Amino acid sequence: MGRVIGIDLGTTNSCVAALEQGQPLVIPSRGGQKIMPSIVAFTGDGKRLVGHAAKRQAVTNSMHTVYAAKRLIGRKFESAAIQRMRERVPYPIVEGPHDDVRIELRGQVYSVAEISAFILSEMRRVAEDHFGSSCSEAVITVPAYFNDGQRQATKDAGNIAGLDVLRIINEPTAAVLAYGFGKDVERRVAVFDLGGGTFDISILEIGQSVFEVVATAGDTFLGGEDFDLRIIDWLVEGFRDEHGVDLREEPMALQRVKEAAERSKCELSTVNETEIHLPFLLGAEGGQALHLQRTLARAQLEELTADLVDRTLEIVVRTMDEAGMSKDHIEDVLLVGGQTRMPLVQERVADHFGRPASKGVHPDEAVAVGAAIHGANLVSQTLDMLLLDVTPHSLGIMIHGGYFSKIIPKNTTVPTSASHVFTTVQDDQVQVRISVMQGESDHAEDNELLGEFVLGDLRPAPRGEVEILVNFEISADGIVGVSAKDLVTGQQQSVKVTASSGLTRDELEEMAERHGGADGLAEVENPEVQALRNQIRDLAQQVEAELPRVREVLAASALGDDVLAKSTDILAQAGDVVEQGDRPSLEETRTSLERVRSMFQGILARG
Amino acid sequence: MSPDDRVRSLLEEGLFCLGLSKEDEALDRWRAVLEIEPDNGRAREYINFVLEQRGELVVTEPEAAAAAVVADTPERLDVSSGVFRRTESGELVAVTAQDLPPADGAPATGVVEPAEETPSGPVEATAAEAAPAEPVEAAATGSASTPEHGRISGDTAPIFLPAEMLEDIALAEATVSETEVEPTAQPAAVAPAPEPVEELPAPAAPPPELVQAPAAEPVETLPPPAAPAMDEAAPEENPLFQGALDLFEAGEYSEALSLIERVLAAEPDDQEADALRERVREALLGQYKARIGALSETPRVDVPDGDLVWLNLDPRAAFLLSRVDGILTFEEIIDLSNLDAFTANKLLHDFLQEGLISVGD
């Protein structure tokens, strides 16, 4: 079994890590970057851009640039989250054939899993470039609140990218794994994860090498980009006041402003004041160019974004209340996500928890490192770890009046089971429909439907007299089983809710094949395949060199033209395959050439 | 440097200057050519073109026109008509009223070069349409092959006809059109110059339109000229087009592009000019790519941020320069620039040339 890579597939940025000689290593890209924007774009001539290059044209090519695909993955098209996203992003989100979400780019429709697969492929390539060998096994992280469908879709994305996804683990769990790596810690920690696009707060308990998420919550529309937007607004409005021009109508200018805003925000984490200088931002009448020049102070940035920081802490308070914990229960606080570098965030978190945050993990890298640690443990079993997760959402059924009855509350450690007795609502009611749902709203329609079944053959009786026991079970693998039983007759029905990403098996296979092939052409080649090509070239050269002598020998033998014709055919085929062939055809050609070479050697030895 | 080399150099320099919109400097170069070769046709065409563009060439005032053409060499020319012809010895002289064909004569074709050799026998003629302001181009009588329109050779002088003369020609042409004519028995003697003689319109006139008839075949009637033929011929009549072509053939692609852009600015639908522009751009793109080198290289900016404001950048160039971050490769920068490949490559080439960016350690 080869090396397992850990991938933090983030909403805004992604990161890949692995264990190198027992130590975690965050793998830099060719440009030295350890994090890569989770952005995919298609240029006018259909070229695919991923990561940094895609980010640097995101505004000028906004209709064909997908960002924050993670907010879409594994969701139903009709869901509130998707409808909200449709209003917020410039790229076209369309409905897929299975009520899933698709994205249309340059006339081509992609599933969200495919888009995520492009990012994962790039991560894989970065790792393979670094190690010079294939990296086909991975552990990928997801937010703790991801439901089964979202997890499955993430796994599908990994498969499309040609990865064998050994495990999907929760991001806060991964961060805590990185925090606890090589230490014998037993404590309760809060993971405050403020990334580029989302905010998550999780409380975990570490004890006896057991990592348990005891509570988790967040806001999928709150992150570092919201902080950037405040600076962008400030710059754009200032420019409009000064020059009477709206930069939002100028994509090239706005792209530069957006980048400058992010850069200045980062700088203000270490300095008190920064200059924002964008020369020749716009052309004006008379050929005069307009420049943007502003000074932004840290205090001003804090003023612009104070309410965003407040929102994160409100979620922290609510989550801890729901988990029945106070700040005194928290023994350490981990800051994860680039936005936690902001001094104001650090101060407010420290104030809230009454202690400074741990410096033990790198905010950008901790999650990927934790995934790599877990991956290494899966293949080598050298680390004694047990990850225990909780249900991120409450599970229950829809009851009369369209209400939602919770049977397993959120943050329940899995595996678990729970039961509840319901009654009929009509006289002589002979069947009931059990709609299995997850979510937190009292109104069923606001929650997500996981599956349905009908329990029939109930005995006719006045309403309220027939009692039905509904039982929920969640296995360690996250599979939800629901059964309903008439307590008098013993009549029973059940359903197993298995995760679905919204893609069929055939679609997945087709996508994996399509993108696997495309990647082979468009990207840097796998070193093993490259070695294969070199072997074929060497073999072909040897065979060609021996061909004249073999021809001489065969001219006087009974083997004759057939052998020579076959050999030259294989040589010609090798010429084509070595340039364009995929791995199977390369391997086949190598075998053929080896046979020809052996045959030639035999002929020459006899001749 | 030999006089020939000097002339060629001055002609090209003038075109460079024109490409940079330094018209006075261009005129200086071409007038210097006329100092060396007073009958240099190209220099005259270029000068006339510029003067015409500037509205300084008044063709109805022959003296003024001629004087403008050879402002610093008036003593060499008889400027009485404003129309020039070359003598047998190759000298350029002004065409006088006596040199002009009679209004009712068969040879009234607009071909007036050389005047003394105007054929007296049957001729094949072409003529302009009735509107006197429109230019007329005629094929040389009896020429064995149809000359290529608008390809102004170095020894062909342009001829400007006053409006009243064009009226005469129109009259003559009307006569000819009703007359069956025979090919001349001595075409070479009658019309030694196979090149067409071009007439440029007056400054305020509409774009030139040309009429051409087969040179060696009798003409029974002269139908109205077909529009496509005129359209095809039109760009070639433009000295700028020829200049651009000359520069392109000389490998001076930037200057050629500059000139051809000017041609297209005036005639956006000119297909031939458009085709030339594509060829020039292709050649230039090759040069840019060669200068940029491997697209997998990662450029970086060599100018401090604060100094960028001293550059004179167009916002698009500034945008592209801001993509150079030491992480993206040339290929990625071009891909994400949202600019067409030519523009993106040109800008990167220019940045390298000007030392704004570099690659390597």
Binned at pLDDT 50, 70 and 90, residue A498 comes out as low
A62 in contact with B, Cβ within 8 Å: no
* Residues in A 281-300 with any Cβ partner in B closer than 8 A: 281-283, 289, 291
Q: Which two tokens stand for residue A17?
A: 């890590």
Nearest CA in chain B to A45: B335
Kind of pairing, strands A40-42 and A36-37? unpaired
Q: Is A33's CB within 8 Å of B338's CB?
A: no
Percent of chain A with pLDDT over 70: 93
Q: What pLDDT, in 10s, does the model give residues A58-86?
A: 999 999 999 999 999 999 899 888 998 89
Residue position matching structure tokens 């992604």: A14
| pLDDT given at position A556 | 61
Q: Is A43's CB within 8 Å of B335's CB?
A: yes
Q: How many CB pairs under 8 A join A and B?
A: 73
B46 with B117, same domain: the answer is no
Query: Is A148 a residue whose pLDDT tops 80?
Result: no
Query: Is B294 a residue whose pLDDT tops 80?
Result: yes
Q: Is A43's CB within 8 Å of B336's CB?
A: yes
B206 with B98, same domain: the answer is yes
- Last-in-domain residue among B195, B221, B247: B221
Residue B233 lies in a domain: no
Whole-model pTM? 0.64
Query: Is B111 a residue whose pLDDT tops 50?
Result: no
| Residue that wins the pLDDT comparison between A87 and B216 | A87
**Contacts with B316 from chain A: Cβ below 8 Å:** 252
B297 in contact with A, Cβ within 8 Å: no
A252 in contact with B, Cβ within 8 Å: yes
Q: Is A238 exposed, middle or buried (0-12, 13-18, 19+ CB in 10 A)?
A: middle
User: Bridge partners of A449?
Assistant: A437
Kind of pairing, strands A386-388 and A210-219? parallel
Q: In sequence order, which residues have a C-beta less than 8 Å from that of residue A595 and are 6 or more positions away?
A: none
Q: What pLDDT, in 10s, does the model give residues B254-266?
A: 889 988 998 898 8
CB A180 within 8 A of CB A172: no
CB A148 within 8 A of CB A497: yes
Q: What pLDDT, in 10s, does the model give residues A358-403?
A: 988 999 999 999 999 999 988 875 656 666 667 778 899 999 999 9
Binned at pLDDT 50, 70 and 90, residue A573 comes out as confident
**Contacts with A289 from chain B: Cβ below 8 Å:** 313-315, 318
| Lowest-pLDDT choice from A329-338, A529-538, B236-245, B351-360 | A529-538
B316 in contact with A, Cβ within 8 Å: yes
Residue B146 lies in a domain: yes
Q: How far apart are CA A546 and CA A537, in angstroms?
A: 14
Residue B70 lies in a domain: no
| pLDDT given at position B26 | 84
B84 with B189, same domain: the answer is yes
B294 in contact with A, Cβ within 8 Å: no
Half-sphere exposure of B192 (CA within 13 A, CB side): 14
Q: Is A44's CB within 8 Å of B338's CB?
A: yes
Q: Is B332's CB within 8 Å of A49's CB?
A: yes
Q: Is B338's CB within 8 Å of A41's CB?
A: no
Residue B63 lies in a domain: no
Binned at pLDDT 50, 70 and 90, residue A106 comes out as very high
Q: Is A259's CB within 8 Å of B314's CB?
A: no
| Residue that wins the pLDDT comparison between A509 and B230 | A509
B281 with B307, same domain: the answer is no
B298 with B345, same domain: the answer is yes
**Contacts with B308 from chain A: Cβ below 8 Å:** 279-280
| Lowest-pLDDT choice from A236-245, A511-520, B290-299, B304-313 | A511-520
**Contacts with B314 from chain A: Cβ below 8 Å:** 280, 283, 289
Nearest CA in chain B to A282: B315
Q: What pLDDT, in 10s, does the model give residues A209-220?
A: 677 888 888 898
Task: Give 3-state DSSP helix, strand, coil % of chain A, rounded to 5.
Answer: 45, 30, 30
B300 in contact with A, Cβ within 8 Å: no
DSSP codes joined into one string, A225-271: HHHHHHHHHHHHHHHHHHHS--GGG-HHHHHHHHHHHHHHHHHTTT-
| Mean pLDDT, residues A489-512 taken together | 79
Query: Is B67 a residue whose pLDDT tops 90?
Result: no
Nearest CA in chain B to A292: B309
Q: Where are the alpha helices (DSSP H) in A132-250?
A: 148-160, 171-180, 224-243
Q: Is B338's CB within 8 Å of A32's CB?
A: no
| Lowest-pLDDT choice from A575-579, A601-605, B59-63 | B59-63
| Residue that wins the pLDDT comparison between B109 and A581 | A581
Closest listed residue to residue A366, CA positions, set A169, A209, A115: A169
**Contacts with A253 from chain B: Cβ below 8 Å:** 315, 319
B185 with B93, same domain: the answer is yes
B247 with B300, same domain: the answer is no
Residue B73 lies in a domain: no
Q: Which two tokens stand for residue B255?
A: 């200057």
**Contacts with B318 from chain A: Cβ below 8 Å:** 256, 279-281, 289
Closest listed residue to residue A257, CA positions, set A287, A291, A289, A288: A291
Q: How far apart are CA A166 and CA A172, in angstroms?
A: 18
Coil vs helix vs strand at A140: strand
Q: Which two tokens stand for residue A147?
A: 């439901």
CB B358 within 8 A of CB B352: yes
| Mean pLDDT, residues A450-474 taken together | 89
Angle in degrees, 0-180, between the axes of helices B253-266 and B3-19, rounded to the nearest 10: 50
C-alpha to C-alpha distances, B253 to A554, B128, B279, nearest whole angstrom: 59, 36, 9
Report the first-to-last Cα separation within chain B, whole angstroms. 43
Residue position matching structure tokens 């919201």: A226
User: Measured between CA atoms, how close is A451 to chain B, in angstroms?
Assistant: 44
Nearest CA in chain A to B328: A53
DSSP codes joined into one string, A329-372: G--EEEEESGGGGSHHHHHHHHHHHTSPPB-SS-TTTHHHHHHH
B323 in contact with A, Cβ within 8 Å: yes
B247 with B299, same domain: the answer is no
Question: Which residue among A49, A281, A283 places its CB closest to the CB of B335?
Answer: A49
Q: Is B315's CB within 8 Å of A61's CB?
A: no
| Residue that wins the pLDDT comparison between A223 and B218 | A223
**In degrees rounded to 5, what are phi and psi of residue A549?**
-70, -40
Cis, peptide link before residue A415, omega less than 30° from 0? yes
CB A365 within 8 A of CB A336: no
Closest listed residue to residue B299, CA positions, set B246, B228, B351, B241: B351
Q: Is A61's CB within 8 Å of B317's CB?
A: no
Q: Is A57's CB within 8 Å of B336's CB?
A: yes
| Residue that wins the pLDDT comparison between B175 and A499 | A499
CA A142 to chain centre: 6
B100 with B209, same domain: the answer is yes
| pLDDT given at position B222 | 36
**Contacts with A286 from chain B: Cβ below 8 Å:** none
Report the first-to-last Cα separation within chain A, whole angstroms. 46
CB A35 within 8 A of CB A15: yes
B303 in contact with A, Cβ within 8 Å: no
Q: Is A253's CB within 8 Å of B315's CB?
A: yes
B272 with B306, same domain: the answer is no
B270 with B339, same domain: the answer is no
User: Measured between CA atoms, how close is B351 to chain A, in angstroms?
Assistant: 15
Q: How far apart are CA A380 and CA B245, in angstroms?
A: 72
Q: Is B306's CB within 8 Å of A61's CB?
A: no
**In degrees rounded to 5, what are phi and psi of residue A575?**
-60, -40
Binned at pLDDT 50, 70 and 90, residue A277 comes out as very high
| pLDDT given at position A412 | 83
| pLDDT given at position B271 | 92
Residue B255 lies in a domain: yes
Question: Which residue among B318, B327, B338 places its CB closest to the CB of A279?
Answer: B318
Q: Is B336's CB within 8 Å of A291's CB?
A: no
Question: Which residue among B309, B322, B323 places its CB closest to the CB of A291?
Answer: B309
Q: Is B318's CB within 8 Å of A57's CB?
A: no
Q: What pLDDT, in 10s, does the model give residues B219-272?
A: 333 333 333 333 444 444 678 888 889 889 888 898 899 889 988 988 899 999
B335 in contact with A, Cβ within 8 Å: yes
Q: How far apart are CA A505 and CA A155, in angstroms?
A: 13
| pLDDT given at position B4 | 84
**Contacts with B339 from chain A: Cβ below 8 Å:** none
Percent of chain A with pLDDT over 90: 55
DSSP codes joined into one string, A78-126: TSHHHHHHHHH-SSPEEE-TTS-EEEEETTEEEEHHHHHHHHHHHHHHH
Residue B330 lies in a domain: yes
B196 with B304, same domain: the answer is no
Binned at pLDDT 50, 70 and 90, residue B22 comes out as confident
| pLDDT given at position B153 | 33
Nearest CA in chain B to A252: B319
| Residue that wins the pLDDT comparison between B176 and B313 | B313
Q: Where are the alpha helices (DSSP H) in chain B?
A: 3-19, 23-36, 41-53, 62-69, 163-177, 187-190, 227-237, 239-249, 253-266, 271-292, 315-323, 330-336, 341-353
Query: B64: alpha, beta or left, given left = phi > 0 and alpha = psi -120 to 50?
Result: alpha
Q: How far apart are CA B233 and CA B227, in angstroms?
A: 10
DSSP codes joined into one string, B216-250: SS--S--PPPPHHHHHHHHHHH-HHHHHHHHHHHT
Closest listed residue to residue B6, CA positions, set B48, B27, B37: B37
Q: Is B335's CB within 8 Å of A47's CB?
A: yes
A53 in contact with B, Cβ within 8 Å: yes
Binned at pLDDT 50, 70 and 90, residue B134 comes out as very low
User: Bridge partners of B94?
Assistant: B84
Biggest distance spanned by C-alpha atoms of chain B? 80
Query: Is B163 a residue whose pLDDT tops 80?
Result: no
C-alpha to C-alpha distances, A529 to A122, A519, A525, A532, nearest whole angstrom: 17, 13, 7, 5
Q: Which two tokens stand for residue A240?
A: 């409009």
Q: Which two tokens stand for residue A109?
A: 């429709």
Closest listed residue to residue B329, CA positions, set A169, A533, A476, A56: A56
Domain with B314, as residue range(s), is 293-358
**Contacts with A43 from chain B: Cβ below 8 Å:** 335-336, 338
A264 in contact with B, Cβ within 8 Å: no
**Contacts with B317 from chain A: Cβ below 8 Å:** 280
**Contacts with A239 from chain B: Cβ below 8 Å:** none
Say which DSSP state A288 is in: P
Q: Which amino acid belongs to residue B225? A: P
The Cα angle at residue A117 between residues A115 and A122, in degrees rounded to 5: 110
What total number of domains does chain B contain? 4
Binned at pLDDT 50, 70 and 90, residue B206 comes out as very low
| Residue that wins the pLDDT comparison between A159 and A505 | A159
Closest listed residue to residue A2, CA positions, set A158, A120, A136: A136
Q: Which of B321, B323, B327, B356 would best serve as a mutation to test chain A binding (most A beta carbons within 10 A)?
A: B327
C-alpha to C-alpha distances, A212 to A363, A391, A413, nearest whole angstrom: 20, 11, 8
Q: What pLDDT, in 10s, does the model give residues B26-59?
A: 889 889 999 998 888 888 888 887 887 777 765 5
Indicate which residues of A carry an active-site annotation: 8, 70, 171, 193
User: Bridge partners of A111?
Assistant: A102
Residue B230 lies in a domain: no
